[in-house]
A and B are shown apart, each in its own frame.
Chain A
Amino acid sequence: MYSRAYKSLVSLPPLLWVGIFLLLPYTLMLLHSFWLVRDGVIVHQWNLGNYAALFTRTVYLQVLLRTMRIAASVTICSLLLGYPLAYYVSFYSGVRKEILYQLVIVPLWISYLVRGYAWKTILGSDGVLNGFLQFAHITHAPVGFLLYSPFAVVLMLTHIYTPFVFLPIYAALESIPRPLLEASQDLGATASQTFLRVVLPLSMPGLLAGATFAFVLSLGDFLAPLLVGGASGTMIANVVQSLFGAAYDWPLGAAVAMCILVFTLTLLSLTETLEKRRSFK
Chain B
Amino acid sequence: MNATTPTRRATWLMPYAIAVFAFIYLPVVVLVGYSFNRDGVGGFPPRHFTLHWYGLLFADDAIWDAVLNSLLVAAGSVALALTLGLLAALALDRADFPGKALFRRLVLLPLILPGIITGLSLLMFAVFAGAPLSLVTVFLGHGTALISVATTELFAGLQKMDRAQEEASLDLGATPWQTFWRVTLPNLKLPLIAAGLLIFTLSMDEIAVTFFLIGRDNTLPMEIWGRLRQGMTPEINAISTLIFVVSVVLISIWYRLRMRTLRNAS
For window 140-172 of B, CB contacts with A under 8 Å fall at: 140, 144, 147, 163, 166-167, 170
Q: Mark A224-235, 1 if CB is under 8 A from B, else 0.
A: 000100000000
Point out the residue from B14, B30, B97 that lies within 8 Å of A121, measured CB to CB.
Answer: B30
Q: Does any Cβ of A come within 8 Å of B28's Cβ?
A: yes
Q: Does any Cβ of B come within 8 Å of A168's Cβ?
A: no
Q: Does any Cβ of A come within 8 Å of B187's Cβ?
A: no
Q: Give the residues in chain A near B208, CB-CB below 8 Å.
A: 222-223
Point out the residue from B44, B109, B236 that lies within 8 Å of A22, measured CB to CB.
Answer: B109
Q: Give the residues in chain A near B45, CB-CB below 8 Å.
A: 131-132, 135
Other A-B pairs beyond A3-B176, A81-B20, A92-B6, 17, CB < 8 Å? A1-B163, A5-B176, A10-B94, A18-B107, A29-B121, A106-B248, A110-B244, A117-B31, A118-B28, A128-B30, A130-B42, A185-B2, A217-B114, A220-B115, A220-B117, A227-B228, A260-B114
Instruction: Determine if B125 and A21 form an interchain contact, defined as CB atoms under 8 angstroms apart.
Output: yes
Q: Does any Cβ of B come within 8 Å of A268's Cβ?
A: yes
Closest beta carbon of chain A to B23's beta carbon, Å: 7
Chain A interface size, as a band, is 35 or more
Q: Mark B131-145, 1 if CB is under 8 A from A, else 0.
A: 000000000100010
Q: Chain B: which residue is nearest A15 at the CB level?
A: B103
Point out the residue from B85, B96, B117, B140 that lies within 8 Å of A29, measured CB to CB.
Answer: B117
Q: Does any Cβ of A come within 8 Å of B13's Cβ?
A: yes
Chain B interface size, as a band, is 35 or more
Interface, chain A (partner B; CB < 8 A): 1-3, 5-8, 10-11, 13-15, 17-18, 21-26, 28-29, 32, 81-82, 84-85, 87-89, 91-92, 102-107, 109-115, 117-122, 124, 126-132, 134-135, 159, 162-163, 178, 181-182, 185-186, 190-191, 194, 216-217, 219-223, 227, 237, 240-241, 244, 250, 253-254, 257, 260-261, 264-265, 268
Closest A-B pairs by Cβ, 5 of them:
A220-B114, A131-B44, A118-B27, A25-B121, A11-B91
